[in-house]
Amino acid sequence: MSLQVVILAAGQGKRMQSAKPKVLHTLGGRPLLSHVIETVKKISTDPTPIVVTGHQSEQVKAAFAQADINWVYQAEQLGTAHALMQALPFLKDENRVLVLYGDVPLISVHTLQKLIASTPKDAIGILTKTIPDPSGYGRIIRDDLGRIQAIIEEKDLSDDEKQVHEINTGIYCFPIMHLKSWLPQIHDHNAQHELYLTDAIAIAAKCRVPIQSIKAESIEEILGVNDFMQLAQLERYYQKQKAIHLMKQGVKIMDPDRLDIRGHVKMGRDVTLDINVILEGDIELGHHCKIGPNVYLKNVRCKDHVNIQANCVVEDAVVSEHCQIGPFARIRPHTTLEDNVHIGNFVEIKNSIIANDSKVNHLSYVGDSEIGKRVNVGAGTITCNYDGAKKHKTVIHDNVHIGSGTELVAPLEIGENATIGAGSVVTKNVEPNKLTLTHALNQRSVEWKRPTKDNTEDT
C-alpha cells in the first residue's frame, strides 16, 4: 500500500487583503506551499503530490512551473470535502492518502511520519492538539472510552462541546477506498453551508472503522496562515528554530531573535553572526568567519577567516580566505575576491575579479574589471565601464598603484607595476613600470579674501 498526498490550496485568503494568492506569500523567503511540498518529498512513497487549487490557480501553478506536481482545479470553493473530492480520480483505491494544507507550512516530517506509522492501514489517522484556548478550532469529540466519534466545527458547537480543548488540526490519513464511499455522503447542513471533510470522521465512527490519533508536538507546526499577523508569528518561530539549529552546530549568534534565514545555509566552525544579519538564497560560510551587524548576504560563498563588517550588502559573490569587507560596502553579482583582499567603506564592486592581496579601501566603484595581485586602488577611483549603450572591461595587472580621484575609462588595460597619478582621467592603455599623469602640474597661489557673513543677516 502506497501513500499519496493531497495538498489543499484553493482558498482565497480574503483576510490577507492581498492581490497575491495566500499560498504564495513567503515564510523564510519561500512560498508557504513550497514548505509543504518539500516536506512531502521526505515522507511520501509517491513523490508527486496532488495540489488542489482554485483562487488564482494560474498564478500558483506558474510559481511552481518547474516542480513535479499533479494539479487539480476546484472551480467553486464549497468546503474541504468538496476540495478533496476533486482529487478522487487521481487516488488509487488500494492506497492511503495524507491530507495537508498549502497554508500550514511548518508541519514537521517527524510528526507526519509518526502519524503514518501509528495508523493501521485500514484505519483513519488524525493529528490533534490540546491547547488552553481552542477558540476558532473544530473540537475532537470522544465517547466515554476515549474513542473519537466526531469532529465538530466551531460554529456548530454546543455549549458543552465548547469546553473541549482537544482540537482538530485538519491533517488526516485516510484509506482511499473508504474515502471514496464516504465523501459523496457528506451534506452542507451546517452553519457555513459547506461540505466539511470533518464529517467523514462521524461516518467512519458509525461504520466502526478504527480512528487513531496522535498529538502534534508544537502548536506552531499546525498553525495555518490566514492574515499577516499569523504569518509574522510563524516567521519569528521559524527563524528562532533555524537559529537554534545553527547554534547547536557551533555558530555564535549574538541575538537569535535578530537573525533572518531565507534560504539554505552551510557554516563551518567558530562562525559569528552579529545582530540583524539576513542570509538569503544559498549561503556558505567557512571556518572562523565573522559577519557584522546589519549585513545582507544573498547567494554568497565565503571561505575561511572572512570578516564582513557592519552594514554591507554582498550578492552572488565568492569571497576567499582572509578577506575583509566594509563597513558600508556593496559587493554586487558576479564578483570574486581572492585571498586577503580588502574592500573598504563605501566601495562598490560589480562583475569583477580582484586577485590576492589587493585593496580597494575607500569610496570607489569597480565594475566589469579584472584586478591583479597587490594592487592598491586609491580613494574615489571610478572605473567608467558604461558608454551609454555597452559595458566595457578594465584590466589592471599586478602591483599597480592607482592614485586617489582617478577615472579609468574602459575599455582599458593598465600594465604591471604602473602608477597612476592622483586625479587622472585615463583613456588609453598604460604601459608597465611607468608613472602616468593626465593633467598639468601647475599649482599656484593668489591673493584672496574669503567672503564673510554679515551678522545682521538672517541665518
Q: What pLDDT score does 12 carry? A: 80
Residue predicted with more confidence, 242 or 445: 242
Q: What pLDDT score does 403 carry? A: 96
Confidence label for 182 from pLDDT (cuts 50, 70 and 90):
very high
Taking only the tens place, the pLDDT of each residue in 125-181 is 999 999 999 988 999 999 999 999 999 988 889 999 999 999 999 999 999 999 999
- Work out the number of other CB atoms within 10 angstroms of the CB of residue 440: 6
SS3 letters across 55-122? CCHHHHHHHCCCCCCEEEECCCCCCHHHHHHCCHHHCCCCCEEEEEECCCCCCCHHHHHHHHHHCCCC
- In the DSSP assignment, the letter for residue 250 is T
How far apart CA 167 and CA 164 sit, in angstroms, is: 8
CATH number among 3.40.605.10, 3.50.90.10, 2.40.50.100, 2.160.10.10, domain 228-436: 2.160.10.10
> Does residue 54 contact residue 62 with C-beta atoms inside 8 Å?
no
Mean local confidence (pLDDT), 35-46: 88
How far apart CA 114 and CA 135 sit, in angstroms, is: 26
Confidence label for 459 from pLDDT (cuts 50, 70 and 90):
very low
Taking only the tens place, the pLDDT of each residue in 350-376 is 999 999 999 999 999 999 999 999 999
Across 122-145, b (16+ Cβ under 10 Å) vs e yields: ebbbbbbbeeeebeebbbbbeeee
pLDDT over 90 (residue 442): no
Domain-wise residue ranges, the chain? 3-222, 228-436
Mean local confidence (pLDDT), 10-23: 89
Q: What percent of the chain has pLDDT over 90?
A: 85
Q: Which one of the listed residues 322, 334, 362, 401 is annotated catalytic?
A: 362
Taking only the tens place, the pLDDT of each residue in 234-260 is 999 999 999 999 999 999 999 999 999
Q: What pLDDT score does 44 carry? A: 75
Residue 245 appears among annotated catalytic residues: no
Q: What pLDDT score does 453 carry? A: 75
Taking only the tens place, the pLDDT of each residue in 371-396 is 999 999 999 999 999 999 999 999 99
Q: What superfamily in CATH does domain 3-222 come from?
A: Spore Coat Polysaccharide Biosynthesis Protein SpsA; Chain A (3.90.550.10)
Nearest partner of 83 among 104, 47, 106, 52, judged by Cα:
52
Confidence label for 448 from pLDDT (cuts 50, 70 and 90):
confident
